[in-house]
Structure 1
Amino acid sequence: MEDLNNDDLETESEVEIHFLTKFGGSIETIQLEACSQGQSVVIRYEIVAGAGWTLLNGQQGALSQTAEVEYGDVIVVNFPIDVAYRSNTPFGWPQLVFSVYGMNSWGMETIVGYGRTHFPTTHGVRHVKVPLFAPRPDTPFGNFMSWITGKTPELINPSVISEGNDNYLLRTKSYGTVNVSLNLISKGLKDLGYDNISGVS
């Protein structure tokens, strides 16, 4: 039998350690800076996570029901969010990207605003006000066409705002907030040396 040296021996690979996360909560209300009684909107959310994150349960994106302004400038949505992920690294921690759409005076659907926030990294419930922004035309002609058509510029892929790299190139205006409640339950993060236990706030 041929002798085997150390270079020929296959060493047992290390078992890769994963952790599990379950994110829950809801999109509670939308507060717009300029709205009228009876104005209706829908909100779409998309979850953007790093390459090391695997979706185990839930939807990576969803569109809410139509909601209307009932009083003041507040639109009640109460749209649930419930997802579970597995990962071996906190890099690329999941983010929520929001796109709010409404009807303009011509009865056409147009973007109202975009926003983003990270899911919480510690246990407990978090109430977050996510600023909304809407892109602005970058030329006088674009402003004129926006006024004529009632449509504002839209992002082809709203998830790009989660990257943050080139967002400073966008000309935007503030348009209100999305108010969300979010919570985290996790298992196995301590095995990777992370302590994310925190009180409820």
Structure 2
Amino acid sequence: MAEVHIIGQVSGASGFPHASIFCKWTLQLGGGWRVVEGVTEGQTQADQSETGEKVTWCHPIDLHLSTRGIQGWPQLLLQVYRQDDLGRVDLCGYGVTHVPSKPGHHSLTCHTWRPVGTFAEEVRRAFLGGGPQLLSTEFIHSSSERYRLHTVAAGKVHLELGIILRDFQKYGVMY
């Protein structure tokens, strides 16, 4: 089987509100893919920027995957949250980015979005926290249902990924 190695990090974020920010990530795979080794989800530590608007996480990603074809190429689903001084956790944004299909080092920027509520929900969110969240993460990467959501742009998540492809030509898998 053809193999893909993903080695890198969720390096940080920018453009989010000034609070303790952390990110949950999940690897989304198609049906012909198998995880050989590595963890397919994780959460960064919370970081609060003192000097500017960028936070730094440097959370490692190290995955070894095998596949029979390129259909269902891996994606990273990202969920960014903020934690206030009282320990309450609120959604800041959702995002999805495809893992690059070209070998080498890649610096990626994933733009995120969040659902918009009613006027009352947005006022409550601004002063008390909370706000609309998705009940299922399927809407993050599925465009068939996401078009019905009312959303607003959030910040950006920065990733550094190294991609190694092995035996794609040997098994007739073209990319």
Match of 1:177 among 153, 156, 175: 156
* Partner secondary structure for residue 30 of structure 2: coil
* Aligned counterparts of 2:149 and 2:115: Cα–Cα separation in 1: 7
* Aligned counterparts of 1:75 and 1:84: Cα–Cα separation in 2: 28
Consecutive unaligned residues in structure 2, runs of 5 or more: none
User: Could you tell me which residue of structure 2 aligns to residue 20 of structure 1?
Assistant: 3
What TM-score, normalized by structure 1, do the two folds share? 0.79
Identity value in percent: 23
Change beyond 3 A, Cα 1:152–1:105: farther
Residue by residue over 1:127-152, the C-alpha shift from the partner in whole angstroms, topping out at 9 and shown as x without a partner, is 11110111111x34443554564212
Match for 2:11: what amino acid? Answer: E
* Partner secondary structure for residue 165 of structure 1: helix
Q: Is 2:31 the partner of 1:31?
A: no
What RMSD, in angstroms, separates the aligned Cα atoms of the two structures?
A: 1.8
Confirm or deny: 8 A CA contact 1:106 1:150 kept in the other structure: no
Greater Cα offset, 95-104 or 160-169: 160-169
* Aligned counterparts of 1:129 and 1:163: Cα–Cα separation in 2: 19
**Structure of greater Rg:** 1
Runs (4 or more) in structure 1 with deviation over 4 Å come to 104-107
* Partner secondary structure for residue 166 of structure 1: helix
What TM-score, normalized by structure 2, do the two folds share? 0.90
Residue 165 (structure 1) shift: 1.9
Residue by residue over 1:97-153, the C-alpha shift from the partner in whole angstroms, topping out at 9 and shown as x without a partner, is 11111124764111111111011101111111110111111x344435545642121
Consecutive unaligned residues in structure 1, runs of 5 or more: 1-17, 197-201
Greater Cα offset, 73-82 or 144-153: 144-153
How many residues were matched structurally?
174
